[in-house]
Structure 1
Amino acid sequence: MQNARPLPNYLIKRYNGWKATTYKENEAWYHRLADEGQRPRAMVISCCDSRVHVTSIFGADNGEFFIHRNIANLVPPYKPDGLQHGTSAAVEYAVTALKVAHIIVLGHSNCGGVQGCLSMCSGKAPELEEKSSFVGRWMDILRPGYERIKDLPEETQAAALEKESVLVSIQNLMTFPFVAKEVKEGRLTLHALWNDIGEGGLEHYDPEQGHFLSV
């Protein structure tokens, strides 16, 4: 494998620091995780954005969350077509194998993927309309959300579409038969969250009021 190279020195130094401190102080816990396997209570579907740090936001320990990250925290509709579906596979494993009790979809402010979808759907990013664009075809998942916010004032559309990315994903999760079954029988709950990166804020969707509220 000629293209694989050693880690850069700064990452090696950080690893060695972690191994000598955090790992050393919790070595028994890491051995327990390795020996007993994972039993996460919740799955978190969040954006790939490097500014979104799920475990820090919730103060989570190793083994607490089953985390899946993708562009704009999207879940596609259920579509068993024999093709490769990384997000759908992660959802299936979390629900059917790990038996998680919660699935949290976490959106965030200033999302580049959502902005790309907004630009594409409003005709400002023709390159994303190309069939060869992986990002564009992925962001097609969010087109129903764009249709719901396209008539809002332009300056409010991006933030509104960020929250739509969460709600579209929740809606699509319910198209998975095994998710719908667990929700109906009370063994699984779905949660729609949005994080304001700059302010450290967290909002959750309240279905009774029909909008997001501060936690």
Structure 2
Amino acid sequence: MKHLPDRLLDGYHAFMGGRYASESDRYRALAKEGQEPQTMVIACCDSRAAPETIFDCGPGELFVMRNVANLVPPYEPDGRHHATSAALEYAVQSLKVKHIVVLGHGRCGGIGAALNPAAEPLAPGDFIGQWMGLVSPAADAVSGNTMMTSGERQTALERISIRFSIGNLRTFPYIAEREQNGGLSLHGAWFDISTGELWAMNHDTGDFERPDVD
């Protein structure tokens, strides 16, 4: 058995002969001087919605945290294991990022699971079900709206969950303090996989709008 799948090895060879060769000085500088990204992106694990691809960013530009359905849990310093909270702590307290973007996307499997809680768990622990329980009140409200189609309910919860996560970001004391002092801004965005459209959350209204792109 090979150490890595052929596709990854082929991709690595292409990377070394292409992008790394053309940006080797930048990689060496990042290795020597460390990273100083200005933006943290909290994105979904979905393989179709990679932030570095969507925003066409190079090495060192984004600090990315990915989890199922790009959710942010509330601040809970309870001594348990909190991967998302640990990433937030590092990004804000150590890297001093200036922006946090919660990036959702269309046809999210985690959001689909939240809208169908009666579905059979994938494993006895039902980790996905428990994780998506973070948005269960909103999921219950949306799933009960019979005036909407299933696709409309899916999109609605995908966007509502982004606003929910931004609200949870503000439960972290150091995030709330930096935002109030003007040192940190919080953003929401939603990416449509099928069309490539990006929708940004209006800071004042919470609505999702197409940003102006020159």
- Whole-Å separation in 2 of the counterparts to 1:134 and 1:40: 31
Question: 1:126 offset after TM fit, Å?
Answer: 5.2
Q: CA RMSD in A?
A: 1.8
User: Whole-Å Cα distance in 2 between the matches of residues 58 and 30 of structure 1?
Assistant: 19
- Tell me the distance in 2 between the aligned counterparts of 1:148 and 1:185: 35
Matched, 1:29 2:26: yes
2:109 is equivalent to residue 112 of structure 1: yes
Tell whether 2:160 aligns with 1:164. yes
The superposition leaves residues 50-69 of structure 1 with CA deviations (integer Å, 9 ceiling, x where unpaired) of 00021122121110000000
CA 1:131/1:78 → structure 2, altered by over 3 Å: closer, same or farther? farther
- Residue 76 (structure 1) aligns with: 73
Taking a change above 3 Å as real, the CA distance of residues 201 and 36 of structure 1, as seen in their structure-2 partners, is same
Unmatched segments (≥5 aa) in structure 2: none
Amino acid at match of 1:203: W
2:184 maps to 1:191: no
CA distance in structure 1 between the aligned counterparts of 2:203 and 2:9, rounded to whole angstroms? 46
2:97 to 95, 100, 122: 100
Q: In the alignment, what sits opposite 1:20?
A: 17
Q: Distance in 1 between matches of 2:108 and 2:87?
A: 22
Q: Which moved more, 1:145-154 or 1:83-92?
A: 145-154
> Please, what TM-score do these two structures have when normalized by structure 2?
0.91
Provide the secondary structure at the position in 1 that maps to 2:18: helix
Deviation at 1:70, TM superposition (A): 0.3
Amino acid at match of 1:163: R
Deviations 1:160-182 (A, max 9, x none): 00101211110110000111011
Amino acid paired to 1:137: Q
Q: Aligned residues, how many?
A: 208
- The answer for the alignment partner of 2:121 in structure 1 is 127
Counterpart in 1 of 2:39? 42
Distance 1:182 1:145 in 2: 28
Q: TM-score, normalised by structure 1?
A: 0.91
Q: Percent identity?
A: 43
Q: What amino acid maps onto 1:162 in structure 2?
A: E
Amino acid at match of 1:88: S
CA contact (8 A) 2:105 2:158 kept: yes
Q: Secondary structure at the match of 1:127?
A: coil
